[in-house]
Amino acid sequence: MFQGYGFFDYKYDIPGYSGQDFDGGGRYLYLGVSVVLLLVLLILLRKSKHETITKYLRILAIGMTLLYLCKTTWETVHDFRHFNEFNVGLLPFDTCSFIMPAAFIAGLAKGKTKKAADAWLATGGVAGGISNIIYLQALKYYPFFTFGAFYSMIWHFLMVFTGLWLIVTNYVECNFKTLLYAFVFHLACSAAVIPLDYIFGWDFMLYRMAGGVPGIEKLGALFAERNLHFLTTLTMIVAYFVAFALLIYLPLGIKKLIGAVKKPKANEV
């Protein structure tokens, strides 16, 4: 049984912890609180002005970058203390890290560049955030009440909240053009990451091994045995596109359904 740890203790300094909060109540507590808080915030803020959201995106970009730098510095100090080396997994090349450049671009740019970043926040950002709200990977390494876990909880909650806020306020329109803008942004990020994955044997954005992706991870292992990593890459690109499409067309379908229910009948006054 793990005990006697502090809030800022590093994962290797917490004896006896082997992911108990991931398999136990911690993960479900985070999921439940996140769902309730998202509903409350989105209902309260559904009529926000677009100018307010743009200002928020600028603040978000700065805040997330500072949070990332603090956490990376903190973890790097401990990694050098334990292993005398830098953990390349901390590099900002995973899908969830792209909320930083996306928020900066969405808050400062204009035209099609801004539209692409906005669209990615409402699709890729939400997809990445939801996957971790449901399966918070940090709890495999950190107990619930630690900085390592809280960092991940805050990060992924903000990813989902931001994207959904853009959708419910019509800051981002749910249509095919938005889907294309989002995917172009995602492919631009992928173009920078995929070569690094293949050169150094990494798995950023899950393009080489699809580590942790249900179903696709096993497929990626089979491809790896035959040195066919490019098939994993192609599979993940398709998976991303499907996830993005669901996040665009599901809200659109719900809006149309609500509109059909509210539409008065011909004989109603």
According to the model, what pLDDT value does residue 211 have?
87
Instruction: List, for residues 113-127, the tens digit of each pLDDT value.
Output: 999 999 999 999 999
pLDDT of 269 over the 70 cut: no
pLDDT of 267 over the 90 cut: no
pLDDT of 21 over the 60 cut: yes
- Per-residue CA distances from 239 to 89, 112, 180, 253, 269 (Å): 22, 24, 15, 21, 48
- Per-residue CA distances from 105 to 1, 35, 85, 157, 158 (Å): 46, 28, 33, 20, 17
Q: What is the mean pLDDT of the chain?
A: 90
Please state, for a pLDDT cut of 90, what percent of the chain lies above it.
Answer: 76
pLDDT of 72 over the 60 cut: yes
Under a CB-based contact definition with an 8 Å cutoff, are residues 185 and 124 in contact?
Answer: yes
According to the model, what pLDDT value does residue 154 have?
97
The structure's pTM equals 0.91
According to the model, what pLDDT value does residue 196 have?
95
pLDDT of 268 over the 50 cut: no
Instruction: List, for residues 130-143, the tens digit of each pLDDT value.
Output: 999 998 999 999 99
Closest residue by Cα to residue 161 from 93, 55, 60, 71: 60
Cα–Cα distance for residue pair 235/220, rounded to 1 Å: 9
Closest residue by Cα to residue 206 from 195, 217, 215: 217
> What is the mean predicted confidence (pLDDT) over 55-61?
97
Question: Lowest mean pLDDT: which of 163-167, 188-192, 258-262?
Answer: 258-262
